Amino acid sequence: MTPEELKAWRKKNGYSQGKLAKVLGVISLTVSRWERGVREIPSFLHLTLECLEKKGGELKAKGKKKEKERKVRKHGRQGKGASKRL
């Protein structure tokens, strides 16, 4: 993958450098360096980006999980094993 291909992919899929960096577990400076050709892009990165495309991105999944956690904290534990008050 070339720096130009990475930048095009990122823009096409609606990621800022910062958001893509967060999903990949790197700092945004790393994404910037990849896109400028200052740092070599890992050979497996294209596979990771394909997975993000197919699954809708890790950020979206995390957001749903965090929302669920907020509801549980706000309303108490729900579901199996939860105590019921009468």
61 has pLDDT over 50: no
pLDDT attached to residue 66: 52
Separation of first and last alpha carbons in the chain? 61
User: CATH assignment of 3-75, given 3.40.190.10, 3.40.630.30, 1.10.10.1800, 1.10.260.40?
Assistant: 1.10.260.40
How does pLDDT run across 45-60, given as a tens digit for each residue?
999 999 998 877 654 4
Could you tell me if 24 and 32 are in contact, meaning their C-beta atoms sit under 8 angstroms apart? no
Domain ranges in the chain are 3-75
64 has pLDDT over 80: no
